[in-house]
Amino acid sequence: MTSEATRSRPLRRDAIRNHQLVLEAARDVLAEFGTDASMELIASRAGVGIGTVYRRFPNKEALVDEIAGQMLALLTEEARRALALADGTGLESFLRVAGQSLSDHRGYADKLVGRTKTACVEKLRDLVAELLVQAQQAGRAAPGVELGDVMAVFWSLRGIVETSGSVAPDAWRRHLDILLAGLRAAGTTPSPHPAVTRDQLRRITSDQADGAQGPGQAQTQDEGPASCA
């Protein structure tokens, strides 16, 4: 039986519990040691045998892929919730949730970016674009701000989280406050330089996917139906 078939079978209650234990342990271990952490260490932290881990995840890449998918699904759901805020604060709310998510996945968040389906990434970007329009209509974002600018905020948060590490784990919060103040600046042109375009965003995602897969590995981001949140 293929690993894909094994992963798609309905799980017993104890198997579901072990599955969650492995994922929780993996998030903690990867945040602490990065993606070089061994599957044996993850199994030990989860309190299960190594065979239990490999029954659900044939290799570490499959485990990281599932964590990446969960992270994107959570962000997509949070973006939808943010759109329900009628006062135009949805974009700010979403960026704070995104910053916390990056912090929660510190140590390996950069590895997650290229491990999600392109269609799901595009769905999230569509929601972020709606949040930006909503913020602009409410006067909480300058008219000249574009989607590429918001995505650059996300990239910078990732860099702050990874650079500050456990020494200053909340440094991203002040950084985001400063960036949000800049996005809100009314009556000014954000920059004479062009924002990153949607096409460039797609190409960046594609390049990151190539790096995440590594040489000689098949691309899986666009295979099969995209099950986005």
Q: Are the C-beta atoms of 109 and 157 separated by less than 8 Å?
A: no
Half-sphere exposure of 97 (CA within 13 A, CB side): 19
End-to-end CA distance of the chain: 28
Question: What pTM did the predictor assign?
Answer: 0.83
- Taking only the tens of pLDDT, the chain with its 229 residues reads 444 555 555 557 888 999 999 999 999 999 888 888 999 999 999 999 999 999 999 999 999 989 988 999 999 999 999 999 989 999 999 999 999 999 998 878 777 766 778 888 899 999 999 999 999 999 999 999 999 999 999 999 999 998 998 899 999 999 999 999 999 886 667 788 999 999 999 998 888 766 655 544 444 444 444 456 6
CA 178 to CA 76: how far, in whole Å?
24
Rounded Cα gap, residues 225 and 56, in angstroms: 21
pLDDT tens track for 46-66:
999 999 999 999 999 999 989
Angle between helices 60-83 and 90-104 (to 10 degrees): 160
* CA proximity to 127, closest of 161, 84, 96: 84
Beta strands in 19-169 (DSSP E): none
* Angstrom distance (rounded) from CA 223 to CA 118: 10
Q: Residues 75, 68: contact at Cβ < 8 Å?
A: no
The Cα 208–Cα 114 span in angstroms is 5
